[in-house]
Amino acid sequence: MAPEPTTVDARLPAPRRPAPHRTAIRRITRARGPLLALLIASAAFCAAWVARGTFPFGNTGRALNDQANQYVPFHRALWDLVHGQAAGDLLFTWRGGFGQQFLADYHTYLGNPFSWLAVLVPRAHVDLAVFAITPLTLGTAAAVMTVYLGKLHPGPWWQRGVLGATYGLCGWALSDASYIPMWLWGLVAFPMLGIAVEWCLEERRWPGVALLVALAWFGNFYTAMMATMAACVLLAIRMITRDMTGRQRLRALWHAATATGTGVLLTLPLLLPSFLASGAAQPTKAAAFDPVRIELFLAGMLPATHLWGGRPRLYVASLALILAGSFLLNTAVARRTRLVWAVATALVLASFQFPPTQYVWHGLAVPNGNPYRETFVFSAMVVVLAWLALANRPRPLHVALVAALLVAATFVLRRADDFGGWTWPAVLGGGAISLLALVLLRLGEKRRFLIPVAAALMIGVVFAESTVAAANADARRARERWAKPVITSDRSIGNHFEAVRDVAGWPAHRTDSGAPQSAYNDALALRAEGPQYYSSYLPEATYQALEPLGYGFKNDGRTFFGADDPVLDAIFSIGARVRPGTTPGTWTASTFPAPPLVTVRTAPYTSPNPADSVYARQENVLGATVHQVPPVTRGGTATEQTYTARCTPGSEAYWYSPALYGTVRAGDGPQRLLEDRMTGVTPLGTVPASGRVDVTVQTRTKDADAGAYPLGCLDRAALDAAVRHLTATGATAVRPGGHTIAATLPTPAGGTAVIATTAIPGWQCSAPLKPFHGLLAVDLPPGTTTFSCTFTPKGLAPGLAGAALALLALAAVQVTTLRRRHC
C-alpha cells in the first residue's frame, strides 16, 4: 500500500532557528582548524626570516632575482596607479620601455589578491608589503587546505590544521615560489578547486564553483591552470572512489565542466589580452625539457632538501610524509580508495619526468627557467593521503615501518648532488618526534591526557622542521649564481628616487633614471620614463625598434636598459637624466633641451654614414646627420684588443660593441664596463686635439671583435641644431592620457607625425598609421592640425563580451535556484 500523505497542522509553530550567538559559536569552532594552519605556516616562515637575519628582521637582503627586478617595481607601479600618480592607467604605462601595455603585466605579476596590500602602506615601504604577501599567502593556502581536508573526511580540527600547515610549507612553496607572489596563489588555488570538486559531486552551488574557478584564475592563470588540471585528477579519483551511478557521474561532470568554463570566461578580460600579448612578445630561447636523474628526482622528496638549479622540490614535513606512506597499509581505508589514490598520486609524480606530460602541465609551452613548476600538486596529494591515513587512525607499527623506510631512503640518496645539510636532522629528529606523536595519539584513545601532548608534539615538529627547511632553502638559494639578494628600500634607492623627482617634467619631457640601481624595472620603481623595462610581455615590436638603435638588453630581448647617449635622448624626448654621484649612494641630475613627444617629419631621410652602423640607424630616426663614423684599425691580442681611428677634434666619442664582454677605455680616460648585449652605446670622452682616438678593449669573449664601425664621433652643435628644428616643427601641445595621446601641430603642411613610443600592437589613431623605424607614426594629410591615438590591448573587447555572457549565466542560474527554493 502506498503511504498516506503527510499533513501539516498550520497551527503548529514554525521550527526555531538557531540563536544568533549559537551560530557565531559554530562558525568560530569551524574556523579553529584553518586558523591554526594559517598561524603555523605564517609563523614558521617568518621565524626562518628571523633566524637568517633577513630584512626587515636584519640586514640580509630579501628581494632577489625577479622579486627585486620585477615584482617590487610592479607593486610600486600599482601604488602609483591607485594613488593617482601613475603616468598611465591599467591598460598602458608611459613609464618604462618608452610606453608599454600594462594589463597583461597586471594580470601576471599583480594578480595575487594580497598584492593590494601594497597600496595601503607608504610608497617607500611597498617592498615590506611585497615580502608580507609570502607568509600571508602560505598561511591562506594552509587554511584553505584544512577546509578541503575536512570535506574529504571528518576528523579533529587541530589534526587537519597541522596537516594543512605542512601543505602551506611544502618544498615548492619554500624553495621555488616564496619570492614569487603571483605563483603562490596557485598554492591557494589547489585546495580551493578541491572544494569546488566536492560541490560538483554533490551537484550543488554551481555559481560557487564558477566563482572559485574565477578566483583561482584571476590570481594567476599560470599556476591556476596547473591547479585546474590537478582538480580534474581529483574529480576522477572521487568519482571512482565514491558510490555513484553512471547518471550521477555524468551530472557531476557536466556540473564541473560548465562551472569551470563559466569561471574561466569571467577572467577573459584579463586572460585573453595576456594570451595575445604573450604571442606578440619577444621570443625567448627556452631549452627543451631535460628530466633530472632519478636519484635527484627522488632526493627532492626528502624533507628540508634544497637541490641546486632547476630541480624538483617535492618534499613536505616528515609528519605528512610518514602518514602518507602509511596510507597504503591502513586497512581502515577501503581497498579501492587506497588503490585509486595511490595510483593517481604515482602517475602525477611520473608525469613530471615525461616530456609530453610536462608540456601539458605547462600549457604546451617550454618553461623558461625551472621546469618543475607544478610540483606543488604532488605535495598537495601527499598531504591528502596523510590526512586520509590520520583520520582513519594509523597503527603505530605501520608508521614505524614507514619511518624506517624514510631513513633507509635518505641513506641511499645521501650522495645525491648537493644533498641538504638539514635533511638528516629533519629525517631523524623530525621523523622521530612525528613517530612519537602518532604513537601517543593512538594511545590517547584510552588515555585522554596523552592527546594534548601528541598535539603539542605534532604542532611543534611541523613548526620547527618547516622553519629549518625555509631558512635552509633561503640560504642555499641566495648562493645561486643568479641570486643577488638586495634590500629594496635602502638609502641609496631613496636618494635615487628623490633625484628623479627633482628633474621630472612629464609630459613636457621624459626623465631617464640612468643605470639600474636595484631593479631592471627602475623606470617603474622610480617614476621615470626611460627605456628600462623587464616583462615577459615586452613586445617583439619594441625589441625590433630599440635594439638597432644601440640600447642594451638581456633575457633574449625581454629586458631593456638605458644608454647614456644624447642622440637617443633627442629621439625619445628625454630632457633629464640621473647619474651616480661621486660618493656611493648619491645621485646627480641634469636637464637639457629635448624635442616634444610628437615631432613632424616632412621628407624621408637617409644617413650618409655606413648603413650597417648603429650611428647611421640613429640618424635615420633623428632625421639629421650628427655623427662622424670613421673606419677603425684593429690590433693587439685576442684578449686585449686595440682600435685606432680619426675624428674631428673636440667631438664626442661613443662606442658600441654588443659582441664583447670586458672593459673599454679611450686613451687615458675612465675604464667602462662592457657586458656584451647588456651594454648599449657608451660615451668614451672628448676627441683630443690630435684627432686620434685610441681605444683599448680587454675582453673575455673568445674570437670576437667590435665589428666594422664600433666608433662614432658626435658633433654636438649639429645635434643641438637638430633638436631645435624638431622642437620648432613638432607639436605645440601634447596631451598623453592613461592610454591615449593627442597632439596639436604648428602648421597644417602635412607629413609624418612621429610619437616617441614604439609601435606595439593595439594602437589606433585618428590618422592612418605609417611605418617609421619601429616607432609609432601617423600619416598627416595636408591641413591636419590635430590628431589622437588610443591604445587598446588586443583581445580586451571579446574578453569583456565573454565575461558578460558568463555573468548572465551566473545570474540566470542563481535566479532559477532561488525560484526553486521558494516553490
Taking phi first (over 0 means left), then psi (-120 to 50 degrees means alpha), and beta for anything else, what does residue 88 get?
left
% of the chain surpassing 90 pLDDT:
80
Q: What is the DSSP string of 142-190?
A: HHHHHHHHHHHS---HHHHHHHHHHHHT-HIIIIISTT-HHHHHHHHHH
Closest CA to 342 of 240, 413, 411: 240
Mean pLDDT rounded to a whole number for the chain: 92
Q: Who contacts 323 (Cβ-Cβ below 8 Å, separation ≥6)?
A: 163, 385, 386, 387, 389, 390, 394, 399, 438
Q: What is the pLDDT of residue 17?
A: 59
Collect all residues with Cβ–Cβ distance below 8 Å to 463 and sequence separation of at least 6.
40, 43, 44, 47, 165
Residue 240 sits in the same domain as residue 324: yes
Going edge to edge, which strands form the sheet with 559-560?
Answer: 533-534, 559-560, 553-554
Domain presence at residue 637: yes
The cell numbers describing 75, all together, are 607593486
- SS3 label, residue 220: coil
For the chain, the distance separating the N- and C-terminal CA atoms, rounded to the nearest angstrom, is 29
pLDDT at site 672 = 94
Listed residue (173, 674, 678) closest to 470, CA to CA: 173
Are 378 and 421 in a shared domain? yes
Last residue of a domain, which of 652, 687, 714? Answer: 714
309 in helix, strand or coil?
coil
Q: What is the pLDDT at residue 372? A: 92
Lowest mean pLDDT of 58-62, 85-89, 692-696, name the range. Answer: 58-62
Of 684, 714, 744, which residue constitutes the final position of a domain? 714
The better pLDDT of the pair 471, 30 is held by 471
Query: Are 770 and 640 in the same domain?
Result: no
Q: Residue 464 sits in which domain range?
A: 102-280+295-478
Tens digits of residue pLDDT in 650-677: 999 999 999 999 999 999 889 999 999 9
pLDDT reading at 537 higher than 60: yes
The total of other beta-carbon atoms located within 10 Å of residue 117's CB is: 17
Residue with cell 624514510: 406
Grid cell listed for 357: 606530460
CATH number (domain holding residue 693): 2.60.40
CA distance 741 to 739: 7
Residue 145 lies in a domain: yes
**703 domain-assigned:** yes
Q: 440 and 540, same structural domain?
A: no
How far is Cα 211 from Cα 222, in angstroms, rounded to an integer? 18
Last residue of a domain, one of 448, 478, 508: 478
Does some domain include residue 82? Answer: no
The pLDDT assigned to 64 comes to 81
Q: Is residue 58 part of a domain?
A: no
- Rounded-to-integer distance, Cα 596 and Cα 726, Å: 8
Please indicate, yes or no, whether residues 193 and 310 belong to a single structural domain of this protein: yes
What's the pLDDT band for 8 if we cut at 50, 70, 90? Answer: very low
Query: Has residue 13 been placed in a domain?
Result: no
User: What is the three-class DSSP state of 523?
Assistant: helix
Is the domain of 560 the same as that of 637?
A: no
Residues 682 and 784 in one domain: no
Cα separation, 367 vs 356, in Å, equals 13
Task: Report whether the peptide linkage leading into residue 56 is cis, meaning its omega lies within 30 degrees of zero.
Answer: yes
At 91, is the secondary structure helix, strand, or coil? coil
Mean pLDDT of the region 492-500: 92
pLDDT above 80 (res 420): no
| Measured distance CA(450)–CA(458) in Å, rounded | 12
Number of folded domains in the chain?
A: 4
Give residue-wise pLDDT tens across range 564-581: 999 999 999 999 999 998
Interatomic CA distance for residues 408 and 424, integer angstroms: 11
Is the pLDDT at 2 greater than 50? The verdict is no
Minimum mean pLDDT range among 165-179, 282-296, 541-555, 603-617 = 282-296
Please say whether the beta carbons of 264 and 275 come within 8 A: no
C-alpha cell at 557: 630581448
pLDDT at 36: 97
Nine-digit cell string for 814 = 542563481
Q: What angle do CA 381, 385, 390 make, to 5 degrees?
A: 145
- Average of pLDDT values for 506-519? 89
Residue 168 lies in a domain: yes
Whether a cis peptide bond, with omega within 30° of 0, leads into 507 is yes
Same domain, 403 and 359: yes
Same domain assignment for residues 378 and 415 = yes
Asked whether residue 121 falls in the same domain as residue 241, the answer is yes
Q: State residue 4's pLDDT score.
A: 42
Say what the pTM is. Answer: 0.93
Residue 72 lies inside a defined structural domain of this protein: no
**Domain shared by 426 and 530, yes or no:** no
In 579-700, which ranges are continuous DSSP H helix?
Answer: 614-622
Same domain for 137 and 167? yes
Question: Using N-to-C axis directions, what is the helix angle for 157-168 and 376-391, rounded to 10°?
Answer: 160
Tell me how far the alpha carbon of residue 222 is from its chain's centroid: 10
